[in-house]
Amino acid sequence: MNNTIEYDTFKTRLMNTLDTEFGDGISISPRGIRGHNGATLDAYSISIPGRNLSPVFYPSYFYEKYRSGMSFAEIIENIKDSVRYSNGDVVDEDDIRRYEYAKSHIIPKLVNRDRNEDWIASVPHQSFLDVEMVFIYVIRSEGDEIVSFTVSEDMLREWRIDKDQLMQDSVTTAKRLFPLSIESIENVLGLSDSDFYQTFYVMSNNRRQYGASTMLYDHVLSDFADRIGCSFHIIPSSIHEVLLVPDSLCIPADELHDMLMDVNSSIVRDDEILSDRIYYYDRDTDTLSIRS
């Protein structure tokens, strides 16, 4: 059952309830965070005495959960959980400073280059086709939620490693923490399966979070091409997933590009748009390129 309430009303009730639940000592402060694609996000940090980490939550995220049927009590407990997980016994800054420990928590994330130009320039990054790869430290991953922060240049200097090593290690960690998932679009949508060679495929990870980075996994594209027996186009539909379109479908790249532009303008959130270009994996040459 969907809940109906205006965002401002929900947010006021949320903040008043949290103030009561936390009591004295723990403070909640507004924090305008610049998200991906340049948008300023409505965020709040929770300051906890004696702890170095301040959890951040987004009322708009929980508003959508509330509208989709999550109870208000569940939302309050979720936010209180973020305080419990911020305990120094869970995330130790000394551990983060040790790269041998930290690398087992770092994964790559692909983001739109043009929409994040200023932000990308301030953090370690690597180019990949027409997008950029940044790196995030995963504190906790549960269900469809990832609690993380972006790796900074200061951290890279403290670890005394270069971006090439960071990229290599982050992909290794991502494959372990977030294994590859490739499913027919019919299966994802809960429809009856069509012939194996006559369908699109959704490629992501098992959490459907930042799954476009599975394109970086070793041999994933060549293995899929061998599986279907042909080359294929890739529609970078969001930062969370990409669509694989076998050549056997005989769909022109221009038509796929029109589909992508329509998805970007009408379905995908601005901060989750990855690209407006179509990619192509050539099975014969084992190369990935921009097609249109």
User: Who has greater pLDDT, 38 or 234?
Assistant: 234
pLDDT (tens digit per residue) in 242-265: 999 999 999 999 999 999 999 999
Banded model confidence at residue 26, pLDDT cuts 50, 70, 90: confident
% of the chain surpassing 70 pLDDT? 85
Banded model confidence at residue 85, pLDDT cuts 50, 70, 90: low
Banded model confidence at residue 212, pLDDT cuts 50, 70, 90: very high
pLDDT (tens digit per residue) in 156-175: 999 999 999 999 999 999 99
Mean residue pLDDT across the chain: 86
List the one residue out of 218, 232, 220 whose CA is nearest residue 283: 232
User: Who has greater pLDDT, 25 or 62?
Assistant: 62
Window from 3-17, 23-37, 111-125 with minimum mean pLDDT: 23-37
Q: What is the DSSP string of the chain?
A: ------HHHHHHHHHHHHHHHH-SS-EEEE--EE-GGGPEE--EEEE-TT-S---EE-HHHHHHHHHTT--HHHHHHHHHHHHHHTSTTTS-HHHHH-HHHHGGGEEEEEEETGGGHHHHHTS--EEETTEEEEEEEEEEEETTEEEEEEPPHHHHHHHT--HHHHHHHHHHHHHHHS-EEEEEHHHHHTPPP--TTSS-EEEEETT-SSGGGGGGSTTHHHHHHHHHTS-EEEE---SS-EEEEEGGG---HHHHHHHHHHHHHHTS-GGG---SS-EEEETTTTEEEE--
Distance CA 97, CA 55 (A): 19
Cβ 17 vs Cβ 74: under 8 Å: no
% of the chain surpassing 90 pLDDT? 50
Give the pLDDT of residue 77: 85
Distances (CA, A) of 197 to 182, 216, 224, 230, 231: 14, 24, 12, 10, 12
In this prediction, residues 46-74 reach a mean pLDDT of 80
- Where do the domains of the chain lie? 7-85, 93-177, 180-290
Cβ 19 vs Cβ 25: under 8 Å: no
Q: How many beta carbons lie within 10 A of that of residue 110, not counting itself?
A: 26
Query: In whole angstroms, what separates CA 33 from the centre of its chain?
Result: 16
Banded model confidence at residue 89, pLDDT cuts 50, 70, 90: very low
Give the pLDDT of residue 196: 46
Cross-strand pairs, 280:
233, 289
Does the structure show a pLDDT above 60 at 35?
A: no
